Amino acid sequence: MTKMWGRRFGTVLGVLVAMGSAHAASDANGQKLDDRVAAIVPMCAACHGGDGISSVPLYPNLAGQKPEYLAKQLRDFKAGRRDDIVMRPMAEPLDDKAIDALSRHFGAMPPR
């Protein structure tokens, strides 16, 4: 029961943060992101860092990863080929356009 509540709280919190930040998101080249994708970026940043560099060792850095790799991982989470209690629900509502845009967004960030 506690794990389920915590997961739901985290998802709701992520959505609220995303709604408040959606208008300001841009890609690594300064181009404004599609509003739907811009609403998703803050949810990713909550664990993976706003600059794509996670401050928590448990979560991988996304900055500088190959976009094709990131897209494959998101599609695998969405399809259930790769299962994770946090990532599967995050990936399930994404369509191919959003997956590709998110992958390009984080892939274009400079790695550290």
Per-residue pLDDT for 21 more than 50? no
Spans of all domains in the chain? 2-107
What local confidence, expressed as pLDDT, does residue 36 receive? 79
Pair of tokens at residue 25: 């998101």
**What is the secondary structure of 15-36 as a DSSP string?**
HHHHHHHGGG-B-TTSPBPPHH
Cα distance between residue 32 and residue 49, in whole Å:
19
Per-residue pLDDT for 104 more than 90? yes
Per-residue pLDDT for 73 more than 80? yes
Q: Region 72-101: what's the mean pLDDT?
A: 96
Q: Which CATH number fits domain 2-107: 3.30.750.80, 3.30.300.30, 1.10.760.10, 3.40.50.2300?
A: 1.10.760.10
